[in-house]
Amino acid sequence: MTADSMDKKRGIYIHMPFCVQKCRYCAFLSFSAEGSPRKEYMDALEKEIKLRSALERERGTDKPADTIYIGGGTPSVMDIAAMSEMIKTLKRSFEIKPDAEFTLEANPATLGRKDGVMLAKLQAYKFMGVNRLSMGVQSMDNDRLHYLGRIHTAENVARDMEIIRRKGFSNVNLDLMFSVPGESTEDAMRDLERILALAPEHISCYSLQIEEGTPFGEMAESGELTEVPDEEDRETYHRICRRLRDAGYEHYEISNFAKKGDDPAATSPYRSRHNSLYWNMDEYIGLGLGASGFINGVRYKNTSDLEEYLAVLEEGRLPVAEEHRNTAFDNISEAVFTGLRRREGIRYEDAVRAYMDAVDAERPEILPGDDFRDVFWDIFAEAREEALGYAGRGLLIISDEGLKLTEQGIDISNSIMSLFV
Ligand code: SF4
């Protein structure tokens, strides 16, 4: 393990690829749970956990995890006993820090119908160590939820939140989607007010992306669906940002907002620690179908083919489909790309340290005393002029310490970030 990777934080992501039904816009790796091999999946996942932890120990790259994130799909449709066994295996296989953030995605209307059932399920999650819930609410308008193909109603969300609070969960994220076809900025703002009334500690806001191969993608192709124009989408986004800031949320990443703590000048204690690992170029182990990992400078991705995933683990092998050792340029490019997503931006020092962290014979040596800013702009000499152009138009802030997008710059973040790829 390199010296710098010793300092990096470590997360564990576990993918649960099953949902009650597919939403009409969904391009995530998920299948309808009906008739799916859920038991076989959990057995295979336990095998993968053991194989992966043995490999990390053998390579000397094992270290205590700061975060666990169970995402999907819809993890809350999984059998609670199987989930609990899997978590026991995880904790026996990997060292988890006592104060680790442990997030579980739990879609509304999948926690149970009766209060008693929900409370028991939430108790089981608490027992596993879950201390943060992330709910895919998307909208608080029942017609829009129906149109999106979601299985829940706004009433389900309000009731779930009431029971979640009763069970003592004090760190809850709600996802909100905007720019759904037919939705105006005013509609989105009404949705946001209903989300705010539930007082979540964290809100993720995304505009709907119409993806090829989804029912919405087909509807867009046939002209049955008209996407919200860009200008309106951007107006909605900026109004959401302003409203959330006024409501006491810290806008810490393009799409993410965390409630401020007691000290409004300090960083919010409710920032997602797990997602911050991705934006900070920290390390994470990915487990489950299609999951990705980044350990000791190597990125890997598991197969996305469910049959192959089950078969390979049955043979006692890891289901890795792709592996790539990052070059020094990969590292710095990714550090800038992901770092610019954060409202504080990227510091030259952190970007250059990511560059130096790579085991790459091609990388020119950086000497002690070299100025991080100079090294950064030597590496990105070709991008400099265009970056200055963006700065001149008030879209990018270039300081002595580093770079960050302005709020207007977020609207063209992909173009700005692509300068550094
Ligand atoms: S709940 Fe999420 S993962 Fe499942 S189908 Fe809907 S959008 Fe996709």
Cβ contacts of 102 within 8 Å, gap of 6 or more:
67, 68, 69, 128, 129, 130, 131, 132
Residue of minimum CA distance from atom 5 in ligand 1: 22
Q: What is the pLDDT of residue 284?
A: 98
For the CA of 73, the closest atom of ligand 1 is 3
pLDDT of res. 216: 96
Residue 352: predicted pLDDT: 93
**Ligand 1 centroid to 212 CA: how many Å?**
15
As a whole number of angstroms, the distance between CA 118 and CA 124 comes to 10
Name the residue of 24, 30, 107, 210 to mutate for ligand 1: max ligand atoms within 8 A of Cβ: 30
3-state secondary structure of 210: coil
Per CATH, the number for 3-279 is 3.80.30.20
> How remote is the CA of residue 30 from the centroid of ligand 1, in Å?
7
DSSP letter for 420, please.
G
Separation of 19 CA from ligand 1 center, angstroms? 6
Give the residue ranges of the chain where pLDDT is below 70. 1-6, 361
pLDDT of residue 362: 74
**20 CA to middle of ligand 1, Å?**
9
Tell me the sheet residues that pair with 16. Answer: 72
Reported pTM: 0.95
State in Å, rounded, how far the first CA of the chain is from the last one.
26
| pLDDT for position 282 | 95
**Contact call for residues 332 and 354 (beta carbons, < 8 A):** yes
- Look at residue 11 and give its three-state secondary structure: strand
Residues with CB under 6 A from ligand 1: 19, 22-23, 26, 28, 30, 72-74, 107, 136
Residue 34 has a pLDDT of 84
The pLDDT of residue 389:
97
Left (φ > 0), alpha (ψ -120 to 50) or beta: where does 218 sit? alpha
Distance 175 CA to ligand 1 centre (A): 12
Out of 15, 24, 26, mutate this one to test ligand 1's pocket (max ligand atoms within 8 Å of CB): namely 26
Nearest atom in ligand 1 to 138's CA: 7
Q: Atom 6 in ligand 1: which residue has the minimum CA distance?
A: 23
Q: How far is the CA of 79 from the centre of ligand 1 (A)?
A: 18
Number of H helices, E strands in the chain: 16, 17
Domain segments of the chain as ranges: 3-279, 349-421
- What is the distance in A from the centroid of ligand 1 to the CA of 406? 32
Q: Check: CB of residue 31 under 8 Å from CB of residue 19.
A: yes
